Structure 1
Amino acid sequence: MSDFGPFSVDPNSPPGYQTTGPQKPEADWITSLSDSIEHHLSSLCSSRTKAFIALMLFALVCFLPGFNSIPPVDRDEARFAQASKQMMETGDYVDIRFQDETRYKKPVGIYWLQVASVKATGQDWDAPIWAYRIPSLAGAMLSVGLTFLVGMRMGSVRSGFLAGLGMAAAILLGVEARLAKTDAMLLATILAVQWLLWEMYDLRSGLSKGKGALLWVALAFGVLIKGPIILMVSIMTIIILSIRERSVGWLKGSGWKYGLPLFLVITIPWFLAIGIKTDWAFYMDSIGKDMMAKVASGKESHGAPPGTYLAASIGTFWPISVFFILSVVWIWKQRAQRTVFFALAWLLPTWIIFELVPTKLPHYVLPAMPALAILMAEALEARATSWASLWGRIVSLLIPIVAVILGLGAPIGLIFIEGIINPAAFGLGLVAAGLGLLSYAVLTRGRVMAAFTLACLTAPVLYLSLHGTIFPQLRSVWISNQLQESVNMVKPCESVEVASAGYSEPSLVFLIGTDTLLTNGKGAADFVKEAGCRLAIVEQQQQPAFLEALGDRRGDFEQAATVEGYKLNGGKWQSFGLYRYKM
């Protein structure tokens, strides 16, 4: 029996990991470093409070770089933030709109949270994008903390800490923590529900009234944030567990008699209000046009075959993915064990469903990541991670490969794209590459827990380089930001009206204003010819139509500025002219 968890050292551990008898340590610095890391890890995890505080600080270090310096990202983040902005502009907190168009794809929960976060900062609708990102940061932090809690309840303080550490370091959660979208906060609500399902399944004594209320409140918030996704994850988990138990008796302590009314009180008012306000069009759009379209075919050019997530998760779930692959043999052998079975009941149905749905985006499988992290942590705790075989060593190479590609490839890419040499990014990249190589060296000595810790410590160095220094300097990519700066420089008066021809990214509307007219060349010409303080942004391919539509008044207008950039959505370079009445 391990000192820190329920698993004994696996007697069937893969070749290369000694399980019996004292192992004579090699007298070198790698062994000494590994001993030190594992000693400090054990010391830290001797206290739940110390482990939790350390984990939260680590998560902040991973999530904060670039949080307030990366411009609005197209398209989803900018759409969510703009719809929240319009709620504050209009005072209508029921309807969801992007300019004059309805946005009936997701329920209202995330918009309310973004409005609340903006107000909490003392700002209003004109707040910068970081104020709208606060709910995502909070959701990511909660997800790390709840993963620690679930892992601790299912195993030990150390296994919970390792699972939470992997979550904080994972590439995908780090991205979602910096985007004003639904997914990080949805994950937090899912984790809260899964924690309480585990409590019911493990203890069989039912939940206290406080925990029962929390279960149903978390379900309600999850539904308000992203509709049925949280129900899918929890219901599939319940079905698999009940099939194993041949009973649903373990659910008797869920507090449904007071919890279900509480769930309905939280969710029904808005769902009823939006139905009445839109003559039930919200349900036609969100269920019929959005959800069913994604299920039936690859929507918005995001179709991909089954197995796509399995391949992509090697990168998106890094570094968890590497150590999970090395642990998969032990996980399968232990599938009958209660904690392993629960995590598999959470992981596998969710993953399979998303693999079968034609529309695929990397963040769709985020609800499965904590289960994967917990399974990996339990394998580490059981000293059952396979690394010594040829395939294990090849998989292990993904640790330094990702660190080198992101750490050194990104600053090199910055040189090619922007012509900027960033010494800080190169320095951080070298540190990250060095940590990745060190993690691999430690792993090949069989010190898997120390290797995983080093791999996770690579993450904040990478993210400080990527999110903190490189991404904000990619000016060519942030076209809307450039256009906003140019508009402010050449606008003929303080309150200028703007039209954009050939460029309709949501970030432009968020940055310049809700009244921005998205049109074509002729529409932009008609717009600037009208009386008032006006300016037209005209993409190069729209310029002939724009100039032709100006007709005899062409001489009254001038091109005040030119902006060039690379449009990620479409993958092409674009050039824009900013036209105004001659001054």
Structure 2
Amino acid sequence: MPALPRPQRRRLLLITVLLGLVLYGWQLGTTGLVDETPPLFAASARAMAETGDWLIPRVNGLPRYDKPPLVYWLMGLVYALPGQEQWNPLGTWAARFPSALAAIGVMLALADTLLRWPQPPFASRGPGAVSLRPALTALTAALAFGLSPLALAWGRTAVSDSLFSGLVALALLLCWQTYADPARRWWLSWPVLGLAVLTKGPVAVVLLAITLLLFGWLQADIGGLWRRLRPLRGLALTALVSLPWYLLALHSEGRPFWDSFFGYHNLQRFTEVVNRHLQPWWFFLPVMLVASLPVSPLLLVGLARAIGPLRRSWYPTLPQPPAASLARFAACWLLAVLLFFTAAATKLPSYWLPAIPAAALLVALAAQTAWTGGGGRPWERWAWGLSLLLVAGLGVVFLLARLWVPLINDPEMPTLAAELDGSPLVPLVAACWLLAALLGWLCRRRRPPLRLLALQLPLVLFVPTALLPLWSVGDRLRGEPVRRMAAALQREGRPGEPVAMVGVLKPSLHYYGRRVVIYEGIGVEGPINLADRLRRERRVGQRPSTPDAQPTVLVVIDQTTARAPFWRHLGASEIASAGVYRLWRLDRRRLEASVANLRRNGFAPDWQAPRPERY
């Protein structure tokens, strides 16, 4: 099928941008940073902009080796703009900008690919269907990605996952476009892959390689794929983009950078379970279904169709024309992510993000098929009905929220259940989902892509009218108390007085307080570590001191930890409170006397033990 005329493509892409701005740009900076990881990214990026050191990210007085610098650079460029207090008072607009930009970019890339290379429909019904179908399919693919629960969560969060997934998606789409159209420049995907390596490391190369090998095998055309993509030259371009920073960082930081970034954050995360993220081997199967809600049944249909009937031969499927092979390519892309991260010892939901654009393509291409009037297998026809049931079921669950909202019990947000019980937001959520189910049912006999679009548009409305206000409630209850503690630190702190946070550890205290913070957990070693670190630990912005030189320390502590006996009997004076947090001024001599007693009972400091993700 030929590509749509350029004016139509431009209109569809403009609509896609507007929808992306609603989903990812609306109220991007109106809530604070979500603990625990985003403040570390934001503080590192802001430090780059303020100090002019753009080589190594640093946070809370320590180097941060966990991710390469591209996401920090993009955040830092926005932090470097003037007038931050007026247009970015919470710092979140700058920190979330790369994630939102990447999510909108993926929506555009998916829509543009389907507009330029429309995939052959399984059926055409009615006059004009052939010309309208590619536009609707392109729009539904963009929305299938944009409305994914995981894409929405990480696309509005100040971490590197959304940017990495977006760059991997763009590199893979450019690879397929080069394969589909020999007139395309062969080298376009490889610099983009280099940017992905600058965002999260060499895993980007591994995912692309597995995808291309699977696709070439299923297509029985590994040689043709090799000739069109020229991977040896391409990887040289990838290295040219990404390798200089790694060499400079290794030269600057030496062994600590090598051990932390390559040893821990890449090799060890793949081969061992870190941070207690132990999950069963099948973990990503439910994650895959949740990530594509509420149209997960369409994803399964699209995946089965894209792979096609299997044969008993070295090449298990029949080859497809390159320009008509996008669904199969998306299936290989999704399976590459599934296989690689299933093999990894450490498993996190965010690891599925690189597969969501592929899932969106499979959903949209499955939905462009006419299943009414007896077409298709029964289980294919049932997929649409099951999707409608999921949407309606979720609407009913929210409609009956009064039955389950009182069961919510979050220690950091003790009043959340009461806030939601009296709020009109939960019924509004139910209304959006029930409207989506109703429109999807009313349009069930319309042109196939149109019925999916009818279901998706009310869910677009759900994001600004209900989801973001609910997000604001959570920020007010969970994030604002930490920001108030940070303001109290700036207001009450004495020159040179050290700061600590014990119990519930929130890096946003460092970000908003602009102070080096010593973080200690809830264990009995906390007071021992704190006293020892105040005497001995050295980091940028924090010098060792004795109780004679600096007699007090400010301690932010949550109310549960404050009741522990080894903290409760220290005689601290409370000078501020907010939510579940208290700000204490603690006499260091009394702290050290208590610590001496703990040492006599056999406890010892352990803060110098290796902690790769220490901040």
Opposite residue 484 of structure 1, the aligned amino acid is R
How do 1:377-392 residues align onto structure 2 when only pairs under 5 Å count? 377-384=364-371
- Residue 192 (structure 1) aligned to one of 165, 170, 195: 170
Alignment of 1:75 onto 2:36 = yes
Which shows bigger deviation, 411-420 or 134-143? Answer: 411-420
Opposite residue 163 of structure 2, the aligned amino acid is M
Assess, with a 3 A threshold, how the Cα gap between structure 1 residues 282 and 145 changes in structure 2: closer, same or farther.
same
Q: Helix, strand or coil for the counterpart of 1:300?
A: coil
| 1:4-44 CA distance string (max 9 Å, x none) | 789xxxxxxxxxxxxxxxxxxxxxxxxxxxxxxxxxxx9x9
Query: 1:136, CA displacement in angstroms?
Result: 0.7
Opposite residue 352 of structure 2, the aligned amino acid is V
Aligned 8 A contact 2:552 2:585 in 1: no
Query: 1:131, CA displacement in angstroms?
Result: 1.3
Opposite residue 538 of structure 1, the aligned amino acid is I
Which shows bigger deviation, 385-394 or 343-352? Answer: 385-394
Quote the residue 1:117 is aligned against: 78
Alignment of 1:364 onto 2:351 = yes
How do 1:87-166 residues align onto structure 2 when only pairs under 5 Å count? 87-120=48-81, 122-123=83-84, 128-155=91-118, 156-166=134-144
Q: Work out the percentage of aligned pairs sharing the same amino acid.
A: 20
How far, CA to CA, are the matches of 2:434 and 2:182 in structure 1?
Answer: 48
Quote the residue 2:481 is aligned against: 482
Alignment of 1:517 onto 2:543 = no
How far, CA to CA, are the matches of 1:103 and 1:162 in structure 2?
Answer: 39
Q: Helix, strand or coil for the counterpart of 1:67?
A: coil
| 1:278-320 CA distance string (max 9 Å, x none) | 2133222222222222222332122211222221232222234
Assess, with a 3 A threshold, how the Cα gap between structure 1 residues 167 and 247 changes in structure 2: closer, same or farther.
closer
Aligned 8 A contact 1:167 1:320 in 2: no
- Residue 576 (structure 1) aligned to one of 555, 563, 582: 582
Alignment of 1:294 onto 2:269 = yes
Q: Helix, strand or coil for the counterpart of 1:105?
A: coil
Q: TM-score, normalised by structure 1?
A: 0.78
How far, CA to CA, are the matches of 1:94 and 1:441 in structure 2?
Answer: 54
Query: 1:348, CA displacement in angstroms?
Result: 1.5
Aligned 8 A contact 1:56 1:145 in 2: yes
Aligned 8 A contact 1:204 1:250 in 2: no
How far, CA to CA, are the matches of 2:297 and 2:436 in structure 1?
Answer: 12
Query: 1:200, CA displacement in angstroms?
Result: 2.4
Quote the residue 2:390 is aligned against: 398
Q: TM-score, normalised by structure 2?
A: 0.75
Alignment of 1:252 onto 2:227 = yes
Alignment of 1:470 onto 2:433 = no
Q: Alignment RMSD, CA only?
A: 3.6
How far, CA to CA, are the matches of 1:517 and 1:139 in structure 2?
Answer: 34
How far, CA to CA, are the matches of 1:443 and 1:333 in structure 2?
Answer: 28
Alignment of 1:319 onto 2:294 = yes
Aligned 8 A contact 1:399 1:440 in 2: no
Alignment of 1:538 onto 2:557 = yes
Runs of 5+ consecutive residues of structure 1 not aligned to the other structure? 7-41, 566-574
Query: 1:168, CA displacement in angstroms?
Result: 1.6
Which shows bigger deviation, 104-113 or 381-390? Answer: 381-390
Query: 1:89, CA displacement in angstroms?
Result: 4.2
Alignment of 1:219 onto 2:197 = no
How do 1:230-249 residues align onto structure 2 when only pairs under 5 Å count? 230-243=204-217, 244-249=219-224
Query: 1:547, CA displacement in angstroms?
Result: 5.7
Quote the residue 1:499 is aligned against: 500
Quote the residue 1:85 is aligned against: 46
Assess, with a 3 A threshold, how the Cα gap between structure 1 residues 407 and 263 changes in structure 2: closer, same or farther.
farther
How far, CA to CA, are the matches of 1:488 and 1:76 in structure 2?
Answer: 20
Runs of 5+ consecutive residues of structure 2 not aligned to the other structure? 119-133, 310-316, 409-414, 521-525, 535-544, 588-615
| 1:211-236 CA distance string (max 9 Å, x none) | 62x32220110100011222122211
Aligned 8 A contact 1:223 1:229 in 2: yes
How far, CA to CA, are the matches of 2:240 and 2:265 in structure 1?
Answer: 26
How far, CA to CA, are the matches of 1:407 and 1:275 in structure 2?
Answer: 55
Assess, with a 3 A threshold, how the Cα gap between structure 1 residues 264 and 444 changes in structure 2: closer, same or farther.
closer
Quote the residue 1:10 is aligned against: none
Assess, with a 3 A threshold, how the Cα gap between structure 1 residues 421 and 464 changes in structure 2: closer, same or farther.
farther
How far, CA to CA, are the matches of 1:423 and 1:542 in structure 2?
Answer: 32
Q: Helix, strand or coil for the counterpart of 1:248?
A: helix
How far, CA to CA, are the matches of 2:244 and 2:308 in structure 1?
Answer: 48
How far, CA to CA, are the matches of 2:90 and 2:386 in structure 1?
Answer: 48
How do 1:423-442 residues align onto structure 2 when only pairs under 5 Å count? 423-426=423-426, 428-439=428-439, 441-442=441-442
Aligned 8 A contact 1:500 1:524 in 2: no
Aligned 8 A contact 2:487 2:513 in 1: no
Quote the residue 1:171 is aligned against: 149
Query: 1:353, CA displacement in angstroms?
Result: 1.8
Opposite residue 269 of structure 2, the aligned amino acid is K
How far, CA to CA, are the matches of 1:52 and 1:420 in structure 2?
Answer: 37
Which shows bigger deviation, 360-369 or 146-155? Answer: 146-155
Q: Helix, strand or coil for the counterpart of 2:576?
A: strand
How far, CA to CA, are the matches of 2:379 and 2:440 in structure 1?
Answer: 10
How do 1:450-469 residues align onto structure 2 when only pairs under 5 Å count? 450-469=450-469
Query: 1:376, CA displacement in angstroms?
Result: 2.1
Assess, with a 3 A threshold, how the Cα gap between structure 1 residues 453 and 299 changes in structure 2: closer, same or farther.
same
| 1:407-437 CA distance string (max 9 Å, x none) | 7749946875343556551453243132233
How far, CA to CA, are the matches of 1:316 and 1:105 in structure 2?
Answer: 25
Paired positions, count: 522
Q: Helix, strand or coil for the counterpart of 2:80?
A: helix
Opposite residue 562 of structure 1, the aligned amino acid is S
Query: 1:324, CA displacement in angstroms?
Result: 1.7
Aligned 8 A contact 1:295 1:357 in 2: yes
Q: Helix, strand or coil for the counterpart of 2:279?
A: coil
Q: Helix, strand or coil for the counterpart of 2:32?
A: coil
Opposite residue 21 of structure 2, the aligned amino acid is L
How far, CA to CA, are the matches of 1:304 and 1:281 in structure 2?
Answer: 29
Aligned 8 A contact 2:178 2:229 in 1: yes
Query: 1:260, CA displacement in angstroms?
Result: 5.0
- Residue 284 (structure 1) aligned to one of 256, 259, 276: 259
Quote the residue 2:541 is aligned against: none
- Residue 13 (structure 2) aligned to one of 30, 46, 52: 52
Q: Helix, strand or coil for the counterpart of 1:559?
A: strand
Assess, with a 3 A threshold, how the Cα gap between structure 1 residues 270 and 78 changes in structure 2: closer, same or farther.
same
Q: Helix, strand or coil for the counterpart of 1:518?
A: strand
| 1:344-380 CA distance string (max 9 Å, x none) | 2222122222223232222212211222221222222
How far, CA to CA, are the matches of 1:163 and 1:475 in structure 2?
Answer: 31
Opposite residue 463 of structure 2, the aligned amino acid is Y
- Residue 274 (structure 1) aligned to one of 202, 227, 249: 249
Q: Helix, strand or coil for the counterpart of 2:492?
A: coil
Opposite residue 483 of structure 2, the aligned amino acid is Q
Assess, with a 3 A threshold, how the Cα gap between structure 1 residues 250 and 524 changes in structure 2: closer, same or farther.
closer
Opposite residue 128 of structure 1, the aligned amino acid is G
How far, CA to CA, are the matches of 2:260 and 2:419 in structure 1?
Answer: 45
How far, CA to CA, are the matches of 2:396 and 2:484 in structure 1?
Answer: 35
Assess, with a 3 A threshold, how the Cα gap between structure 1 residues 457 and 406 changes in structure 2: closer, same or farther.
farther
Assess, with a 3 A threshold, how the Cα gap between structure 1 residues 464 and 76 changes in structure 2: closer, same or farther.
same
Quote the residue 2:575 is aligned against: 560
How do 1:4-19 residues align onto structure 2 when only pairs under 5 Å count? none
Opposite residue 231 of structure 1, the aligned amino acid is V
